[in-house]
Amino acid sequence: MQDEDAINVDLLKKMMMGGFSSDSSGFVAKKDKTSKQKAKRKVEIDLHFDAVFPQGGSTPHTKRLPMQLEVLQEFITDSKKNSVTIAYVIVGKGEGKLKSTVSNELMRQKISHSLVADPPYFGNAFKLIF
């Protein structure tokens, strides 16, 4: 390849980043700066003890539930702080103790929630609406 046929690196980067439209007119509509759309990402937390505390296998069972509720409270606080509108809390099946305790805590804090029966949760998670 000769020097005159060299590829312009900046042009190549622009092409790879989608800087050019396939529209033949050459006109690309500018994005409205007033409507700031955030990238939608799923906000969720898995409250299974092993997921939250991987090194906590020796923790007595009587202390696990309060620790999980503390993590839930931190998650709720962070979600509100970051203006999250919808979040998911995975509670799992088990004996249902965590599920009922989380539901009671959400009702106490007056946070709108519902059990998610659809995949991928299959009734093992709550959908929180802030």
pLDDT per residue as tens digits for the range 76-120: 999 999 999 999 999 998 889 999 999 999 999 999 999 999 999
Residue 73 covered by a domain: yes
Residue 77 covered by a domain: yes
Segments of 33-93 assigned E as strands: 44-46, 86-90
Residue 82 covered by a domain: yes
Give me the CATH number covering residue 122: 3.30.1370.110
Q: Which amino acid is at 70?
A: E
Q: What would the pLDDT profile of 67-78 be if each residue is shown by its tens digit?
A: 999 999 999 999
| Whether the model pTM is above 0.85 | no
Residue 113 covered by a domain: yes
Residue 64 covered by a domain: yes
Residue 86 covered by a domain: yes
Q: In what order do the strands lie in the sheet with 125-129?
A: 44-46, 86-90, 125-129, 112-115
Per the structure, how many domains does the chain have? 1
Domain holding 112, by residue range, is: 44-129
